Amino acid sequence: MKTLLKGKSVVSSLLAGVLLFSISSIGGVEAATLKGNEEVISAGLGIGNSKLNLIQDSPVSVAAVSDSEQRVIVTFKDKKKVNKSLIQKGRIKREGKHAPSLTVTMPSNEVEKLKSDPNVASVEPDIQLQAAGQIADWGVTATQATYGWNNGYTGKGVKVAVLDTGISLNHEDLVVEGGTSFVDYTTSYNDDSGHGTHVAGIIGAKNNDIGTIGMAPDASLYAVKVLDSHGTGYLSDVIAGIDWAVEHKMDIVNLSMTTSVDSQALHNAVDNAYNSGLLVVAAAGNAGTSDGSGDTIQFPAKYSSVISVGAVDQNKQRAVSSSTGSKLEIVAPGVGINSTYINNGYMTKSGTSMAAAFVSGELAQLKQQSPTSTASLLRIALDQHIIDLGSGGRDTTFGYGLLNVSSSIVNNFNNLPNPTVTSSVYNSVYANMLVNSAGLGPSVTRQYVDYTDGAHWVVRDETQYWPNLQNAKSISYVRNDSNGREEYIVLYSNNTVVRQYVDYTDGAHWVVRDETQYWPNLQNAKSISYSRNDSNGREQYIVLYSNNTVKRQYVDYTNGAHWVISDETQYWPNLQNAKSISYVRNDSNGREQYIVLYNNNTVVRQYVDWSIGNWVVKDETQYWPNLQNVNSISYARNDQDGREQYTVARLDVNPVFNSINYNSQVVYKSVSGNVITLTGTISDWNNDNVTVSASIAGVTKSTIVSNTSSPQTWMLQWNVLSDNIPAGSYSNILITANDGLWGTGSTMYTSAITVDNIPNIPGSLTPGNQSASTPTLVAGITPVLNWSFSDPDAGDTQSAYDVQIYNSAGTTLISDSGWITSSSTSYTIPSNILTRGTTYGWRVAVRDNKGGTSAFSTIYYLKPNRIPTLTLTSYTDGQQVSDNVLTFAWTYADVDGQTQTNYRVQGSKDNWASVGYDSGVLSGSSATHTTSAIPDGTWNFRVTAYDGMEWSAVATRSNLNIPNAYEPNNTNAQAFAINYNTMYTSAISSATDVDFFKYTAPTTGIDRVTFTMPADKNFDIYIYDSNMNFIVAGVTSGVGVAENIIFPVTAGAVYYVKIIGANGDFSPTTPYTLKVSKYTLNYNTGYQYDANGNIIGKQTNSN
């Protein structure tokens, strides 16, 4: 233990940082130099170079970002996903680890686009924060930290992360356990400013008889460098530092910076730290007004998850610039604080930075004292360790009051205020503790001998005279002989002590006082006993601990009033298996009596009998009321009448849920693992057997937990099948605990439990057959597989599928698609898997939108079709045929046994640039086909057959020479039938030769006949209907002129074309050409406009 030497100062520090806006086109906020004992902030709002400065020439410049780029923090609405794809332009510097955010440098115009994106919650400048300025060591004395040290609480084993400018790594008064740096220019966490070292010294300067000493000299200090050598740092670096503290399981985070801007990203970071079990301490800020008016608390101290600390001076007055407001939680020394500094030196500084460090140090003591307590419980304890300043209770100037370590260890009567608990405070603490009558809840019974009407025992229920006994652990009763005052004292499970008595000085009325501060440390206290000696007024506070040791505390007035704490275990009977103790001292003879109640419900009294000069131990169970289920006893003796009073209490502390597993669960019916599990730990101070129960869908499960004096695991399980839990979603499940007496507890399972019917096995599988011996033939090697999805749960949809391909025996897996996320109920087999003529099996499983997975379907078998073959048996390539009507014959074969269902014959005169003859797709198994008359010329032909699934490869005949076989066609009765879009060639062989052609119009519309003649000849062309009525003619006086004759036709009507030499013209060697086709008339209209856009003319053209 390090003692304070003369001239040695004990200090605390908290750095308050000032937010810097850094967009140069808008202006900024700058941290200013000191002015007297306060930090002055200069603010500017300007256009161009105009800026209003409260303090000129600030030595700390704004960290500017160019007009073209900004450094921003983007926070996304989806709490589990960061969408980096939205950052189209820019550089991502860092991704938030515990919040959905990105730190990005990007063009200014992109910032505005992001702000309007529906996936983005906020886009905020990555502002710079600056260390709080210094204003202006006695601090340790004022907070009475030595009381913690004297009781062994020095912060040992507690990890404190100091987020600041770093900590000096070579200072003789500091030991840095580790750390990290998030600033851009160095990976070292060594302090290059001094501020972080000053803060660290206040928290944990070592007890080494040099320099100074911190509040928690044995705490483990970690340097998290988030501010640079000027005391400024980016918001994203601070957030990264907080995340680091969470990941590295720090106990306390000291934030020595402030900002006036409410940042959602920073808010998320400190909330996550607090929810992760860390205590977060921050400076309230140095922005207070001179009269303390207004709400001037800065961020992050203003967030409810952060302990906000203000500063006071040596006179316990608010530091002139300390921020005020409703969020202020506590104050601590913050003016003229001496602490460690860089270059192995020391420095005196002022500000809320220093005050916050004192609080972090005290929290380290509390954490060591109660390492298993939650952050919220330690925070409550901190707020109780105060000296109330200002108006009663929490106020905007001092919060709950001035930090005072001794209030948790011992009390200084001269410095502490009257501890009477007001009714409002009492109700706020104990309002939920119900008072029950005897037998239905906690009760107190007193037994004594009444001598007024012959000696006889009197047993009375005195529960009504006691404070609320709900969650009470121990009682002590005493009666003052001098004034007859009866005092009723109760120790509660939260280790607080309340005294209740009737005050007769101003009319009889009950007084209830919280007297925890007068007792020794009550952590792990099992039983208490209070005694007051009337002869000297000495009050004695005696505690039995769980480790069966006893401590007594009292004020010794023999050498100046001071507290004395002594271990008095040696004076007591054997304390093994002791439940309760009671101590009394008789003023008449000075005899001290030590009385113990054991677990087996026996009572032993021990005292010194001076007549024999020896200890006497007596079993006095017979004098006590029924001790069944008694937890606490208190013995009192009135010296005036010798009446001995035996008081027993049946108390019961509520069982406590220490933890619960809040993992969300999805449980599927009809599959293994179909069990809902709720689990956690529970404890009961009385070591009662605790029944834990909960109900889901009306089905209640219970389990009994034993040995509950320490946390024990409990588990409740529901089998969704045998317990018939319907499919659906369940949350906010009430879990209750009952210790068999009247102690109860409850907690809530707030996560989601989804009970899901798995999807039905997929049905309607096509193509395929369940027998491998009769597989379904499929066309090609990439068939499309289909199935149907169904689910017992209405509204469930398919979210994924898995298709597997097997060999013909269904035993060897050939291909597995894996789980494909899709609602489609079809799958196309890739081209590299199947072989024609081979049998394969396939099956499919599906998954619903809740994650439930079906079993695989039955295997269905298929076989890719083998293409049929066709061989032409008529004609040979290059053959000169004698007729223009051809008959093709072929042989058809199919190894799969499929018959020919269709065939097609096609011909071309231009090497398949166009098709001159097409039979179309004809049905049937015929192996011959006769064409219509074919125009003369050299032709290529091809024939293909269809097996009902696929077409065969083509069989061909090339270069068949077709003769001119149109003649005789001199009359319409002899007209040669022609087809659309086929070029026909013939000749007018004599002066009397006439050629007739005919065709049937397939559709109504306009037909065109294109006609060319020899270059030196003049032929005429005429068009007639089926009755040889003249329609139109193409008659010219020129020679070699091409004709295009257009005329209307009716579907199904026959039309004749007549060609004759003009004036007997003919040419037996030079042919003419003829082709009939459909004519489409297209119109194009052009408009003319004047300078004003008005139409002044139009022209329509057609083809």
Residues 6+ apart with CB under 8 A from 842: 765, 768, 785, 803, 804, 805, 806, 829, 859, 860, 861, 862
Spatial contact of 571 and 594, defined as CB atoms under 8 Å apart: yes
pLDDT in tens, 481-522: 566 678 899 999 899 999 988 887 777 788 899 999 999 999
Q: Is 954 left (phi over 0), alpha (psi -120 to 50) or beta?
A: beta
Nearest Cα residue to 1011 out of 971, 1046, 965? 1046
- Which of 142, 131, 202, 136 minimizes the C-alpha distance to 173? 202
By C-alpha distance, which of 674, 863, 669, 848 is closest to 762?
Answer: 848
What is the CATH topology of the domain spanning 774-863? Answer: Immunoglobulin-like (2.60.40)
Express each pLDDT in 341-393 by its tens digit: 999 988 888 889 999 999 999 999 999 998 988 888 898 888 877 888 888 78
CA dist 592 and 584 (Å) reads 6
DSSP assigned state of 392 = S
Quickly state the pLDDT bin for 865 (edges 50, 70, 90): very high
Specify the CATH architecture of the domain 65-126: 2-Layer Sandwich (3.30)
Residue % of the chain over a pLDDT of 70: 87
* pLDDT higher than 60, residue 458: yes
Angle at 486 between CA 480 and CA 487, to 5 degrees: 100
Which residue bears the tokens 């002869």?
Answer: 535
For residue 678, give the H/E element and its range: strand 675-683
Q: What pLDDT is attached to residue 463?
A: 84
Neighbours of 902 (CB within 10 A): 16
Fold type of domain 130-364: Rossmann fold (3.40.50)
Please tell me which residue, 207 or 224, carries the higher pLDDT value: 224
125-181 pLDDT tens trace? 776 664 543 332 678 778 888 878 888 899 999 999 999 999 999 999 999 999 999
- Residue 14: both structure tokens together: 């908290």
Instruction: List pLDDT tens digits, range 428-448.
Output: 222 222 222 223 468 888 888
Active-site residues, by number, are: 164, 195, 353
Q: Enter the DSSP assignment of 143.
A: H
Query: Does the structure show a pLDDT above 50 at 565?
Result: yes
Q: How far is residue 398's CA from residue 322's CA, in Å, rounded to a whole number?
A: 10
Residue 979: closest CA among 1077, 911, 1079: 1077
Question: Which one, of 279, 472, 307, lies nearest residue 374 by Cα?
Answer: 279
Coarse DSSP helix, strand, coil percentages of the chain, rounded to the nearest 5 percent: 10, 40, 50
Kindly report, residue by residue over 261-287, the tens digit of the pLDDT: 788 889 999 999 999 999 999 999 988
- Taking Cα atoms as reference points, which of 652, 678, 841 lies closest to residue 751? 678
Q: Which of 251-265, 526-540, 655-669, 863-877 has the lowest mean pLDDT?
A: 526-540
Mean pLDDT score across all residues of the chain: 83
Q: Could you say which of 3.30.360.10, 3.40.50.300, 2.60.120.380, 3.10.150.10 is the CATH number of the domain covering 972-1078?
A: 2.60.120.380
Beta carbons within 10 angstroms of residue 1012's beta carbon: 17
For the segment 612-626, what is each residue's pLDDT rounded down to a tens digit?
888 899 999 998 988
Whether the per-residue pLDDT at 204 is higher than 90: the answer is yes
What does the alpha-carbon distance between residue 432 and residue 427 come to, in Å, rounded to a whole number? Answer: 8
pLDDT, residue 45, reads 22
Q: How far apart are CA 1037 and CA 1019, in angstroms?
A: 9
pLDDT given at position 434: 23
Residue 322: exposure state from Cβ atoms within 10 A (0-12, 13-18, ≥19): buried
The residues with which 703 forms a beta bridge, in sequence order, are 692
Domain boundaries 869-962, corresponding CATH code: 2.60.40.10
pLDDT digits (tens, 9 = 90+) for 1039-1087: 888 888 999 999 999 999 999 998 889 988 788 889 999 988 776 777 7
Determine how β-strand 252-255 pairs with β-strand 159-164.
parallel
Asked whether the predicted pLDDT for residue 40 surpasses 60, the reply is: no
Mean pLDDT of 1005-1031: 93
Q: State the residue for tokens 């006082």.
A: 513
Asked if 620 and 636 count as a contact pair (C-beta separation under 8 A), the reply is: no
- The residue among 489, 501, 582 whose CA lies nearest residue 542 is 582
CA atoms within 13 A on the CB side of 765: 20
What is the separation, in whole angstroms, between the first and last Cα of the chain?
111
The reported pTM is 0.45
Closest CA to 160 of 250, 225, 224: 250
Least confident of 425-429, 729-733, 1094-1098: 425-429
- Give bridge partners of residue 72 from the DSSP assignment: 104, 125
DSSP 192: S
* Pairing assessment for the beta strands 733-738 and 690-696 based on DSSP bridges: antiparallel
> What is the SS3 assignment for 269?
helix
Calculate helix-pair angle for 375-384, 352-369, nearest 10 degrees: 110
Residue where the block lists tokens 């399972």: 749
Q: 656-757 — its CATH code? A: 2.60.40
Per-residue pLDDT band at 67 (split at 50, 70, 90) = very low
The whole-number pLDDT of residue 524 equals 92
